[in-house]
């Protein structure tokens, strides 16, 4: 018997609800209704605490996943960039729909137009070290909150960094504000950025088969390779890292990967081609073993 109604656990933010509504629309095309189960996570409530102090990537997903594991929801809808590299026991990444723009956007000024010493607000070490590599004169300030909050806190004479996909999905009109979409050669995206991830219980074969209908294979191949890169770096790697894979219709992948020092003085980059998650693992081993990544100072 086909599944006709699903409960989807999701963070309660406007962006997370958009993402869940989007998954619901994809499933509606296959005769499936979706009811959102909003979860306000501890990470969403404690905006004054840096994400790394709350456990890093898992801070945004643990309570959403718990709703699936304890039966309050059938699926969980996440931003793929929020998922830890290793999946939770009992859950499976059942679908990755078509990916949106993975790039980052500088709002407030273009990078080459920022005055010496100008402030860029971002809570991401990945973003900070890549900007510092190109502009070591810049000053950085921490910033957390939803997209509206971040856009309201552009420093005087400075800029904030946000994800292009978030602006697009929420339909935010930046008006006459200076904006620069950062090419991946300037700012390599976070693993999974721009992609959605739909999880369900690993033992629910019927639901896994249903969710396969909304899978976008090229997006899945790219995200799997990027996540394998992160997993190979190791769960205890606290250094800034990034990876962006591009997939062809035949499964061929090209992947750019980055590992940096926290002060932005060293950025190690690698580009490789191949197929499957092993491409990401190979990129991580190259940066760690051949490019000197293991000697980079940690926090």
Is 177 domain-assigned?
Answer: yes
Q: Is the same domain home to 204 and 62?
A: yes
Same structural domain, 63 and 199 = yes
Q: Which two tokens stand for residue 288?
A: 């760690």
Q: Which of residues 161, 182, 203 is at a domain's end?
A: 182
Q: What is the pLDDT of residue 57?
A: 55
pLDDT of residue 86: 86
How sure is the predictor about 237, in pLDDT bands with cuts at 50, 70 and 90?
low
**pLDDT over 70 percentage in the chain:** 91
pLDDT given for residue 46 in this prediction: 47
Is residue 190 assigned to a domain? no
* 297: in domain: no
Residues 227 and 270 in one domain: yes
User: Looking at residue 238, which CATH number applies to its domain?
Assistant: 3.30.160.40
CATH code for the domain in which residue 135 is found = 3.40.190.10
Q: Do 226 and 162 have their domain in common?
A: no
Among 182, 205, 237, identify where a domain stops: 182
Q: Is 227 found in the same domain as 165? A: no
Domain containing 260: what range? 216-292
Q: d(Cα 24, Cα 32) in Å, to the nearest integer?
A: 8
Q: Are residues 91 and 6 in the same domain?
A: yes
Per-residue tokens: 24? 């619901």
Q: 199 and 229 share a domain? A: no
Residue in 58, 21, 30 with CA at minimum distance from that of residue 43? 58
pLDDT at 15 over 80: yes
* Cα(182)–Cα(111) distance, integer angstroms: 9
Q: Tell me, yes or no, whether 233 lies in a domain.
A: yes
Does 220 share its domain with 282?
Answer: yes
Lowest mean pLDDT among 118-122, 127-131, 226-230, 262-266: 262-266
Q: Which of 182, 205, 233 is the last residue of a domain?
A: 182
DSSP state of 269: E
SS3 string of 142-209? Answer: CCCCCHHHHHCCCCCCCEEEEEHHHHHHHCCCCCCCCEEEECCCCCCCCCCCCCEEEEEECCCHHHHH
Question: What is the predicted pLDDT for the residue at 141?
Answer: 94
With respect to residue 269, please indicate whether it lies within any of the assigned structural domains. yes
Q: What domain count does the chain have?
A: 3
pLDDT digits (tens, 9 = 90+) for 249-259: 888 999 999 99
Same domain for 121 and 87?
Answer: no
289 is catalytic: no
Contact 195, 81 (CB under 8 A): yes
Please give the residue that has the higher pLDDT: either 287 or 146: 287
Measure the CA dihedral 280/83/58/18, to 10°.
150
Is residue 298 included in any domain, yes or no? no
Same domain as 201, residue 226: no
**Comparing C-alpha atoms, which of 298, 284, 180, 161 is closest to residue 234?**
284
- Reported as a single tens digit per residue, the pLDDT across 46-71 is 444 444 444 555 567 889 999 999 99
Residue 149 lies in a domain: yes
pLDDT band at 42 (very low <50, low <70, confident <90, very high): low
* Confidence bin at 40 (pLDDT 50/70/90): confident
Mean pLDDT computed over 284-289: 97
Cα atoms in the Cβ-side hemisphere of radius 13 Å centred on 144? 12
How does residue 299 score in pLDDT terms, banded at 50, 70 and 90?
low
| Residue 136 φ/ψ, nearest 5 degrees | -65, -10
The closest of 4, 64, 63 to 198, measured between CA atoms, is 64
CB 261 within 8 A of CB 297: yes
On the question of pLDDT at 34 being above 50, the answer is yes
Question: For the residues 108-127, what does the mean pLDDT come to?
Answer: 96
77 close to 10: Cβ distance less than 8 angstroms = yes
Looking at the fold, whether 86 and 46 belong to one and the same domain comes out as yes
Indicate whether 239 pLDDT > 90: no
231 & 270 share domain:
yes
The residue from 82, 204, 224, 256 that is catalytic is 82
What pLDDT, on the 0 to 100 scale, is given for residue 58? 59
The structure tokens listed for 289 are 């073993």
Residue 189 lies inside a defined structural domain of this protein: no
């Amino acid at each position: 018997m086909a599944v006709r109604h699903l409960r989807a656990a999701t963070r309660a933010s406007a962006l997370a609800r958009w993402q869940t509504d989007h998954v619901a629309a994809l499933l509606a095309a296959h005769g499936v209704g979706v009811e959102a189960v909003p979860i306000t996570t501890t990470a969403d409530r404690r905006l004054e605490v840096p994400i790394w102090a709350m456990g890093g990537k898992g801070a945004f997903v643990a309570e959403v996943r718990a709703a699936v594991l304890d039966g309050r929801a059938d699926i969980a809808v996440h931003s793929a960039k929020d998922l830890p590299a290793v999946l939770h026991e009992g859950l499976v990444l059942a679908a990755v729909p078509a990916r949106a723009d993975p790039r980052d956007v500088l709002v407030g000024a273009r990078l080459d137009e920022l005055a010496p010493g100008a402030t860029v607000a971002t809570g991401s070490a990945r973003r900070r070290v890549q900007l510092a590599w190109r502009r070591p004169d810049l000053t950085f300030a921490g910033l957390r909150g939803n997209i509206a909050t971040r856009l309201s806190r552009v420093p005087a004479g400075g800029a904030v960094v946000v994800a292009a996909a978030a602006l697009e999905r929420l339909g935010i009109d930046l008006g006459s504000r200076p904006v620069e979409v950062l090419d991946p050669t300037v700012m390599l995206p976070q693993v999974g950025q721009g992609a959605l991830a739909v999880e369900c219980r690993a033992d629910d074969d019927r639901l896994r088969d249903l969710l396969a209908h909304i899978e976008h294979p090229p997006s899945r191949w790219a995200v799997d390779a990027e996540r394998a890169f992160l997993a190979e770096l190791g769960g205890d790697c606290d250094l800034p890292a990034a990876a962006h894979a591009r997939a062809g219709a035949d499964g061929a992948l090209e992947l750019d990967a980055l590992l940096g020092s926290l002060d932005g003085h060293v950025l190690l980059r690698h580009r490789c081609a191949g197929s499957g998650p092993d491409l990401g693992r190979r990129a991580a081993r190259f940066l760690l073993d051949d490019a000197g990544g293991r000697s980079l100072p940690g926090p």
